Amino acid sequence: MSNHEAVKRVPGAGLAKGLAVTFRTLLRRSVTAQYPEVKPALPARSRGAIALLEENCTSCMLCARECPDWCIYIDSHKETLPAPEGGRERARNVLDRFAIDFSLCMYCGICIEVCPFDALFWTPEFEYAEYDIRDLLHEKDRLREWMWTVPPPPENDPSGAVPKEITTAERTAGPLTPGAGGDRDGGSEGGAGE
Amino acid sequence: MDISERTVGVGAGAAQTGDAVSAKDMATEDMVLNIGPQHPSTHGVLRLRLRLDGEQIVSAEPIVGYMHRGAEKLFEVRDYRQIVVLANRHDWLSAFANELGVVLAVERMLGMEVPERATWARTLLAELNRVLNHLMFLGSYPLEMGAITPIFYAFTEREYLQAVMEEVSGGRMHYMFNRVGGLKEELPAGWTGRARATVAEVRHGMVRVEEIIHGNEIFRARTRGVGVLTREQILQYGVSGPIARASGVDFDLRRDEPYLAYGELGDVLRVVTRTEGDCHARFSCLLDQVAVSLNLADACLDRLEALPPGPINQRLPKVLKAPEGHVYQWTENPLGLNGYFLVSRGEKTPWRMKLRSASFNNVQVLKELLPGNLVADMIAILGSMFFVVGDIDK
């Protein structure tokens, strides 16, 4: 039906073309990553596993409540601190158990977003597959261990709004050094030391 | 198209016919053949019940629901941030576009203005997501027809794009980057430059895909004139997206009912259409759409760099409640029209959220499209309908 398309072709031209591609590919460097030997370079925002900075956790349960599939388990008890001189007794929460079931987790990051005390972080680590699904339940010591692999967050795009952490810090400590994100027109290669 | 057919064996049906002489007179029973739910040529768990007369399909019925996860019901007990998690999973190849519909619907109900940078960044990411989706099908479709190489090329390009998406959102497939009022986080410094380099890289890589498969004579022979969808069938079944445009239905929400920043991209946005409506037209529609999307991505990057500094999201109240009412938000997803009908009674969860997914409507037309074709062509037709089973079964 489409006669105008049927330009007389040399028989086997398609085959020759295919072989030419094969030959060209033979000369090109492979793009395959040799995974177990060579680890992938993952960006800082990569959602691999959730790390818990136990010291920051007040067991407020916000993360467990907001989790869309309820895979965070928290147990805590109240402890009364003896009254310091001239003061009164203070109650404080002690975290007994904090566990994330990674076999249920959907890796959405809502728990990290809602945590008001910066106790949860993403780490790009991903090599924690298990033979038994029950071993994917990470208790708080294992979650604490992930903390050592948490990378610093990437610097924001210079045309974005100044993050609220920096504005609050500047309000108390004065202007930050250029490059730390507070200085808008300064170069970003400056000492972002702290 | 003419179908040549040869009867090479006589089945069990012949025994009952007694002394019938020619194969034509034999009263044979049609054979019922189940394709799927577990079958190498189907994507995921779509099941087709075919009635065959020899090699020819007499009737076909898509049986859906093997992967029904009750997304709509789950939406009703999730707040608007949690819905985003669920919504990006029904069509896992266009996660960003799925999230987008949800947040656009909620923003419309709230009457919320989204910062300009967020709008342009969303448009950019939506187009990159479209390229990722199309690359998947541009690779897997030739694979089903016996050409193995294109999928490696397609996945090479996908990998570059996924790295860009992962850097900005942290996810390779389920981005979870849209929030009501903007995006989750600011773009990382230098990301726009890397995104621009990747877009150029993918544009370069697309030449390879096009060269190896599009002009291939075997590929042409198997797809030309096979599975022709007419304009009437498209309109009757509510088929949308590249499949509809391959049959000459010139409808694209990005142009016809612009959302995000598409209204300002009119000079870059070219709606790709074909008139043939066969498998080859559908495939080449997809191929050309990639080029258009890459151009759109470049235009978005230009605008993002030219925009004055500003926020990328809005401060939200602790408890976000959509006001009482209802809204229907549809978007041009990579595979077709995706719509959310959101009914709110002023609570922090929707009262009802109906999901209109592209693939669900697109596969229904198989019932009309498959009969009359040979089983071997079914593979070609099925692959060219570009669906994701999660999007069918929701």
- The per-residue pLDDT for B393 is 84
Model pLDDT for residues B364-392, shown as the tens digit of each residue = 898 888 888 888 888 888 888 888 888 88
In the predicted structure, residue B313 carries a pLDDT above the cut 80: yes
Model pLDDT for residues B236-279, shown as the tens digit of each residue = 898 999 999 999 888 888 888 888 889 888 888 888 888 888 99
Lowest mean pLDDT among A50-64, B11-25, B140-154: B11-25
- ipTM comes to 0.75
- The per-residue pLDDT for B26 is 55
Nearest CA in chain B to A69: B82
Q: A1 touching B, CB under 8 A?
A: yes
Average pLDDT over residues B102-118: 90
- The per-residue pLDDT for B103 is 92
Long-range contacts of B364-369 (CB under 8 A, 24+ apart): B364/B62, B364/B237, B365/B229, B365/B233, B365/B234, B365/B237, B365/B239, B366/B48, B366/B60, B366/B62, B367/B59, B367/B60, B367/B61, B367/B62, B368/B233, B368/B237, B369/B60, B369/B227, B369/B229, B369/B233
User: How far is Cα B95 from Cα B115, in angstroms, rounded to an integer?
Assistant: 22
Q: What is the mean pLDDT of chain B?
A: 85
What residues of B are in contact with residue A107 (Cβ under 8 Å)? 171, 174, 176
Average pLDDT over residues B150-168: 90
- The per-residue pLDDT for B124 is 93
DSSP classification of residue B224: T
Average pLDDT over residues A38-61: 89
| Partner residue opposite A47 with nearest CB, options B86, B170, B311 | B170
Q: How far is B152 from chain A (nearest CA, A)?
A: 10
In the predicted structure, residue A6 carries a pLDDT above the cut 80: no
Contact B312 A161 (CB under 8 A): yes
In the predicted structure, residue A178 carries a pLDDT above the cut 80: no
- The per-residue pLDDT for A51 is 93
In the predicted structure, residue B125 carries a pLDDT above the cut 90: yes
In the predicted structure, residue B283 carries a pLDDT above the cut 50: yes
Domains and CATH numbers, chain A: 49-149 (3.30.70.3270), 156-184 (no CATH)
Q: What percent of chain B has pLDDT over 90?
A: 27
Does the CA dihedral B48-B49-B54-B58 come out positive or negative? negative
pLDDT band at B18 (very low <50, low <70, confident <90, very high): very low
- The per-residue pLDDT for A137 is 92
Q: A157 touching B, CB under 8 A?
A: yes
Distances (CA, A) of A88 to A57, A58, A78, A92: 23, 20, 16, 13
- The per-residue pLDDT for B42 is 62
Average pLDDT over residues A27-53: 89
Q: A142 touching B, CB under 8 A?
A: no
Nearest CA in chain B to A66: B82
| Partner residue opposite B170 with nearest CB, options A14, A66, A109 | A109
- The per-residue pLDDT for B299 is 92
Q: How far is B374 from chain A (nearest CA, A)?
A: 20
Distances (CA, A) of A151 to A122, A123, B70, B300, B375: 8, 7, 37, 30, 53
- The per-residue pLDDT for B4 is 64
- The per-residue pLDDT for A3 is 42
Read out DSSP for B108-126? HHHTPPPPHHHHHHHHHHH
Q: What is the mean pLDDT of chain A?
A: 81
CA B138 to chain centre: 12
Domains and CATH numbers, chain B: 3-63 (no CATH), 71-393 (1.10.645.10)
Q: How far is B35 from chain A (nearest CA, A)?
A: 31
Secondary structure (3-state) at A178: coil
Q: How far is B184 from chain A (nearest CA, A)?
A: 9
Q: B307 touching A, CB under 8 A?
A: yes
Angle at B179 between CA B176 and CA B183, to 5 degrees: 85
Q: B196 touching A, CB under 8 A?
A: no
DSSP classification of residue A34: -
Nearest CA in chain B to A8: B217
pTM: 0.83
CA A95 to chain centre: 23
Task: Scan for tokens 């990998």, then name that residue.
Answer: B159
Q: A113 touching B, CB under 8 A?
A: yes
Secondary structure (3-state) at B279: helix
Contact assessment for residue A103 and residue A24, using Cβ atoms and an 8 Å cutoff: no
pLDDT band at B315 (very low <50, low <70, confident <90, very high): confident
Model pLDDT for residues B330-369, shown as the tens digit of each residue = 999 999 999 999 999 888 899 989 999 998 988 889 888 8
- The per-residue pLDDT for A71 is 92
- The per-residue pLDDT for A156 is 84
- The per-residue pLDDT for A46 is 92
Does the CA dihedral B87-B108-B298-B305 come out positive or negative? negative
Model pLDDT for residues B170-218, shown as the tens digit of each residue = 888 899 899 888 898 888 988 999 999 999 999 988 888 887 777 777 8
pLDDT band at B121 (very low <50, low <70, confident <90, very high): very high
Nearest CA in chain B to A45: B170
Element (H, E) at B358: helix B358-364
pLDDT band at A182 (very low <50, low <70, confident <90, very high): very low
